[in-house]
Amino acid sequence: MDDIAETPVPHDGEPDQLRAPARLGGLPVDARDELGETLLGFARTLASWDGEGVRTETRIVASNPDAFSPMVFTVASALNDHIRGVFHGRVHLAHYDHYGENATDDQAVVGVLLTPTAHP
Protein backbone atom coordinates (compact mmCIF):
# COMPACT_ATOMS: atom_id res chain seq x y z
CA MET A 1 0.00 0.00 0.00
CA ASP A 2 1.17 3.51 -0.60
CA ASP A 3 0.06 7.15 -0.63
CA ILE A 4 -0.23 7.50 3.12
CA ALA A 5 2.72 9.88 3.02
CA GLU A 6 0.71 12.21 0.81
CA THR A 7 -1.75 12.95 3.59
CA PRO A 8 -1.20 16.52 4.76
CA VAL A 9 -0.17 16.87 8.38
CA PRO A 10 -0.41 20.26 10.07
CA HIS A 11 2.99 21.87 10.41
CA ASP A 12 2.18 23.88 13.52
CA GLY A 13 4.92 22.24 15.50
CA GLU A 14 6.40 18.92 16.43
CA PRO A 15 3.77 18.06 19.08
CA ASP A 16 1.02 18.34 16.44
CA GLN A 17 2.98 16.19 13.98
CA LEU A 18 3.38 13.47 16.61
CA ARG A 19 -0.25 13.45 17.73
CA ALA A 20 -1.65 11.20 14.94
CA PRO A 21 1.05 8.50 15.18
CA ALA A 22 0.70 8.55 18.98
CA ARG A 23 -3.06 8.03 18.68
CA LEU A 24 -2.49 5.18 16.19
CA GLY A 25 -0.20 3.61 18.77
CA GLY A 26 -3.16 3.54 21.16
CA LEU A 27 -4.87 0.82 19.13
CA PRO A 28 -4.95 -2.28 21.35
CA VAL A 29 -2.30 -4.81 20.39
CA ASP A 30 -4.81 -7.65 20.27
CA ALA A 31 -6.82 -5.78 17.58
CA ARG A 32 -3.88 -5.08 15.28
CA ASP A 33 -3.58 -8.50 13.59
CA GLU A 34 -7.25 -8.61 12.65
CA LEU A 35 -7.18 -5.02 11.42
CA GLY A 36 -4.04 -5.65 9.36
CA GLU A 37 -5.54 -8.75 7.75
CA THR A 38 -8.74 -6.87 6.99
CA LEU A 39 -6.88 -3.95 5.37
CA LEU A 40 -4.71 -6.31 3.33
CA GLY A 41 -7.86 -8.10 2.16
CA PHE A 42 -9.36 -4.77 1.13
CA ALA A 43 -6.15 -3.93 -0.76
CA ARG A 44 -6.15 -7.29 -2.60
CA THR A 45 -9.77 -6.81 -3.63
CA LEU A 46 -9.30 -3.23 -4.77
CA ALA A 47 -6.02 -3.89 -6.59
CA SER A 48 -7.88 -6.20 -8.96
CA TRP A 49 -11.00 -4.06 -9.29
CA ASP A 50 -11.40 -2.60 -12.79
CA GLY A 51 -14.80 -0.93 -12.61
CA GLU A 52 -15.55 2.69 -13.30
CA GLY A 53 -14.86 5.39 -10.73
CA VAL A 54 -13.25 4.75 -7.38
CA ARG A 55 -14.22 1.98 -4.99
CA THR A 56 -13.50 2.11 -1.26
CA GLU A 57 -13.63 -0.26 1.69
CA THR A 58 -13.63 1.12 5.23
CA ARG A 59 -13.10 -0.22 8.72
CA ILE A 60 -13.96 1.99 11.70
CA VAL A 61 -12.41 1.05 15.02
CA ALA A 62 -13.92 2.67 18.11
CA SER A 63 -13.53 1.90 21.78
CA ASN A 64 -16.13 1.70 24.45
CA PRO A 65 -15.64 3.62 26.66
CA ASP A 66 -13.00 5.93 25.15
CA ALA A 67 -9.97 3.72 25.79
CA PHE A 68 -8.32 5.05 22.61
CA SER A 69 -9.12 7.48 19.80
CA PRO A 70 -11.61 6.21 17.23
CA MET A 71 -9.95 5.40 13.89
CA VAL A 72 -11.17 5.33 10.30
CA PHE A 73 -9.14 3.14 7.92
CA THR A 74 -10.10 3.41 4.26
CA VAL A 75 -8.56 1.60 1.31
CA ALA A 76 -9.38 3.19 -2.06
CA SER A 77 -8.84 1.81 -5.56
CA ALA A 78 -7.30 5.15 -6.61
CA LEU A 79 -6.13 8.37 -5.02
CA ASN A 80 -7.30 11.72 -6.32
CA ASP A 81 -8.76 14.98 -5.01
CA HIS A 82 -12.31 13.60 -5.10
CA ILE A 83 -11.49 10.57 -2.95
CA ARG A 84 -9.51 12.76 -0.53
CA GLY A 85 -12.62 14.93 -0.13
CA VAL A 86 -14.87 11.91 0.38
CA PHE A 87 -12.45 10.48 2.95
CA HIS A 88 -12.22 13.84 4.74
CA GLY A 89 -16.02 13.89 5.00
CA ARG A 90 -16.11 10.29 6.22
CA VAL A 91 -13.64 11.08 9.03
CA HIS A 92 -15.59 14.20 10.03
CA LEU A 93 -18.82 12.19 10.11
CA ALA A 94 -17.18 9.55 12.31
CA HIS A 95 -15.98 12.35 14.63
CA TYR A 96 -19.50 13.76 14.89
CA ASP A 97 -21.02 10.29 15.37
CA HIS A 98 -18.61 9.49 18.17
CA TYR A 99 -18.35 12.82 20.01
CA GLY A 100 -21.35 14.88 18.90
CA GLU A 101 -21.32 18.59 18.27
CA ASN A 102 -19.67 19.50 21.58
CA ALA A 103 -16.32 17.76 21.05
CA THR A 104 -13.29 19.18 22.81
CA ASP A 105 -9.84 19.70 21.26
CA ASP A 106 -8.47 16.52 22.84
CA GLN A 107 -11.23 14.36 21.34
CA ALA A 108 -9.98 13.22 17.96
CA VAL A 109 -10.70 10.68 15.28
CA VAL A 110 -7.69 9.41 13.36
CA GLY A 111 -8.13 8.76 9.66
CA VAL A 112 -5.82 6.66 7.48
CA LEU A 113 -6.34 6.52 3.71
CA LEU A 114 -4.47 3.81 1.80
CA THR A 115 -4.34 2.63 -1.81
CA PRO A 116 -3.07 -0.67 -3.22
CA THR A 117 0.50 -0.45 -4.52
CA ALA A 118 -0.22 -2.34 -7.73
CA HIS A 119 -3.15 -1.92 -10.06
CA PRO A 120 -3.88 -4.29 -12.97
Backbone φ and ψ of 77, nearest 5°? -75, -15
Count how many Cα atoms sit within 13 Å of the Cα of residue 72 in the half-sphere of its side chain. 22
**3-state helix/strand/coil string of 56-115:** EEEEEECCCCCCCCCEEEEEECCCCHHHHHHHHHHHHHHHHHHHCCCCCCCCCCEEEEEE
Radius of gyration of the chain (CA): 15
pTM: 0.81
Give the tens place of pLDDT for each residue, 64-88: 767 888 999 999 998 889 999 999 9
